[in-house]
Each structure stands twice: as C-alpha cells, then as structure tokens.
Amino acid sequence: MIHFGIDALLSDRLPDLAGRRVGLVTNDAATTAALPRPLTPTRLALQQADVNLVALFAPEHGLGAAAADGAKIGDATDPLTGLPVFSLYGATFRPTAEMLAGLDLLLFDIPDIGVRFYTYIWTLSHLLEACAEHDVPLWVLDRPNPLSGELALAEGPMLDEANVSSFVGRWSMPIRHSLTIGELARLWNTERNLGVDLTVVPVQGWRRTDFWDATGLPFVPTSPAMPSAETVLVYPGTCLFEGTNLSEGRGTAAPFRQIGAPWLDGYQVAASFNAFGLPGVVARVTQFIPSSSKFTGELCQGVMLHPLDRATFRPVAAGLHLLFAIMHRHEIRFAWLPYPTAAAGQGHGHFDRLIGDLSIRARLTALPEDSANQIADWTATPGWAERVRPHLLYRG
C-alpha cells in the first residue's frame, strides 16, 4: 500500500507541527492516499488534523490546478479552508519576506510528473532559495514519480544552464530526470549550497521501478492538459511541439498524445515515424478539432503516439523523431513559434528552452533524412546517475 508523504506526516509526524504556524504550497491535485481519508485535499486533511495552517501558496495553474497554461495567477482566498492564497505564478515567482513573515515552517506538497519543463519543480527551486534567505524550515511531502525512478530511463539533453535557463528549466538536469520531487530538493540543497533546513517526508511503499499504475491509485490530473498517466508517458517528447506551429493536442480529449495541423499529411508522417523502428512505440493517423489553443475550431490532421512497452519507450527521442519527420515532410509549412506565458513574456526561443540545448534546432534542420538514428544520441544524460545517487531515497 502506497502512503504519500502527507499520509506519513499525518500518521507519524503531527507532534512535530504542534505549536507552529505553518504555510503550505499546494494545489487541488495534492491529496492523501491512505485510509481513512483517501483523496482528501492535503490542505483540508491538515486542517482537520488541527495543524495550525495560516497561509497557502499556489503554483502555475493556481490552487485549483485548473487555470490555463502560462496564465498569470492572482492572490485569492481558498473557499475550502478560508485561508489566504499567495500566488507564486503572477507578480512574483518566489515567496516574499512579507508572505513568509510569521511562519515557523513551510510545507510543500504538489504532485510532479518527472519532467524538467513541468514548472512545479521550479516553484520548489524558488522556495528553497527563499527559505534559505529568510531562515524558514522547509518540509517536502514526497510523492511517486509517475514515470518511475529508473535512472536508466532518464533522457536529456542536459540543460545548458548558461544559455537557456528559464522557468521551464533553471538548472542543469535532463528532461526526464527519474527523481522524486523530494530527491530533487535534496540534490539542489546540496549542489547549490543553499543551506536550507530541509526535511523530506518520504513515500512509503514505492520502488524506483514503479510507474504510476503500480501504486493502484487513481491519477489525479496535475494540470488541465495532464489528465492521465498515459499523457504523462508521452509528454517529455510531445511538449516540445509547444515551440512550433503544430497543435500539441491542447483543447482535445488527448492533449500531448496527438500532434497535428490542418495542413499536415498524417499518413505520410505516421509512415515516416514508424519506419524509424523506434522501440516501444508506434504512431497512427488521427484527426481532431481543438476547442482552445492552436487551430481552435479547425480540423487538424495528425498522428497519435501509442507507447507499447514502457521499458523500451524513450519519449524524448520519440518526440524528436516525430518532429524530424514532420520537418522533412512539410519543410515549407513547418515553423518555430514563440510561446507567451506569464513567466516567459513573449516566449521567444521556446523550443530552445524546452529542449535545453541551443544546437538542437540547427542539428534537426541539417540532419539528412537517412541519418535519423543519430537523434537518440542527443538525449544522453552524462554523469546524471552519479550526481544524484547520494540523494536517492528509494530502491528498486
């Protein structure tokens, strides 16, 4: 039976919170796992346990995990608990001295999906810095990585921190990192020499080899376009299409699982992709009409990726191969696009920030069609397993 960090806190650590004024960084996707209160929002479970919660903090998508991608979020009052909610994706991306004033402890409980450009981990990075600056202890209530913790499945490129650091990737790490959010906090606190009074409350009953379905728990959508564990599986590669003039499936029933445009030849692209013979995945032709985002209300021709074997499927390599196939089949129509967000402004160079390497666009353009087998080499993660090993909390 899986117990999240919040469950372990409620069963074993409540005396440590007695008499302390507590802040909580969270959203509606953060719930309990264990009886007697499964799927209870973390903030409500803490309040019901008489923890002295005095303030909430919300990341991108807001406390309800329902706001549009990249939309600026304002401060609010939580209707569930009556507590003030400070936005960490609006006027500021890290808690200010005023927000932290009077807190004896800050808790962090937000489900992550194990991908570098999913922004919740960068909210955590700012929290670590703020807690170090203002001498506030930070507890991370850990959760499983739904993509597993298998370091052999990590995929780059490693982020070129000097040239493409942003809110979709501040510090050097792979795209698919294979750590839990608690392990990331431990890594950064040490590597960045932050000196935070950090406690990670571990998950109980989770192994590094476990994907989400091994937990036996329902997948609670972590954001509007992340509705399922199946979406999480392909997202490390298909999110790259945000930086192009193709729809990444937002505004459809299968965001990030299907890619398309009104002008795309889905049959040609699917055939080209399948001809690469990538392990663990096939593409099929599809059609969709987005209700929002790119090509709203237009019929898009596209392809849908179907992972067949998680042990051999490499989503970043698959996403790059699909992009390569489309670039070659639609050389005139294809284009790179900015992606405006509250964190990135006009969002120029969005693909570069997602992929984390300024050379990849040019390499994709220059690569001969019969040399696609080179692409997998671009996703290497040199030195990553050795860097993170001292900070791991879970075994296989």
- The CA distance from 172 to 177, in Å, is 11
**Whether residues 253 and 318 fall in one domain:** yes
In a domain, 281, yes or no: yes
Give the model confidence (pLDDT) of 229-260 as tens digits: 999 999 999 999 999 999 999 999 999 999 99
User: Which pLDDT value is given to residue 396?
Assistant: 82
**Whether residues 134 and 248 fall in one domain:** no
In a domain, 151, yes or no: no
In a domain, 16, yes or no: yes
We report the CATH number of the domain holding residue 356 as 3.90.1150.140
Domains held by the chain: number: 2
**Whether residues 202 and 264 fall in one domain:** no
User: Which pLDDT value is given to residue 37?
Assistant: 78
User: Which pLDDT value is given to residue 38?
Assistant: 87
- The CA distance from 83 to 205, in Å, is 32
Q: What is the pLDDT along the chain (396 residues), one digit of tens a residue?
A: 899 999 999 999 999 999 999 999 999 999 999 877 789 999 999 999 999 999 999 999 999 999 999 999 999 999 999 999 999 999 999 999 999 999 999 999 999 999 999 999 999 999 999 999 999 999 999 999 999 999 999 999 999 999 999 999 999 999 999 999 999 999 999 999 999 999 999 999 999 999 999 999 999 999 999 999 999 999 999 999 999 999 999 999 999 999 999 999 999 999 999 999 999 999 999 999 999 999 999 999 999 999 999 999 999 999 999 999 999 999 999 999 999 999 999 999 999 999 999 999 999 999 998 999 999 999 999 999 999 999 999 998
In a domain, 387, yes or no: no
Contacts 24+ apart (CB under 8 A), 359-362: 360/157, 360/320, 361/336
- The CA distance from 324 to 361, in Å, is 10
We report the CATH number of the domain holding residue 20 as 3.40.50.12170
Can you point out the beta strands (E) in the chain?
22-26, 53-58, 76-77, 84-87, 105-109, 138-141, 198-201, 258-261, 281-288, 300-307
**Whether residues 352 and 261 fall in one domain:** yes
User: Which pLDDT value is given to residue 377?
Assistant: 97
User: Which pLDDT value is given to residue 364?
Assistant: 97
Helix axes 315-329, 266-275, angle to 10 degrees: 130
**Whether residues 196 and 283 fall in one domain:** no
**Whether residues 206 and 255 fall in one domain:** no
**Whether residues 301 and 210 fall in one domain:** no
**Whether residues 239 and 320 fall in one domain:** yes
In a domain, 167, yes or no: no
In a domain, 250, yes or no: yes
In a domain, 150, yes or no: no
**Whether residues 262 and 368 fall in one domain:** yes
The closest alpha carbon to 393, from 142, 211, 194, 26, belongs to: 142
In a domain, 166, yes or no: no
**Whether residues 312 and 351 fall in one domain:** yes
Range of the domain at 114: 5-145+180-218
**Whether residues 345 and 306 fall in one domain:** yes
pTM for the structure as a whole: 0.97
**Whether residues 271 and 308 fall in one domain:** yes
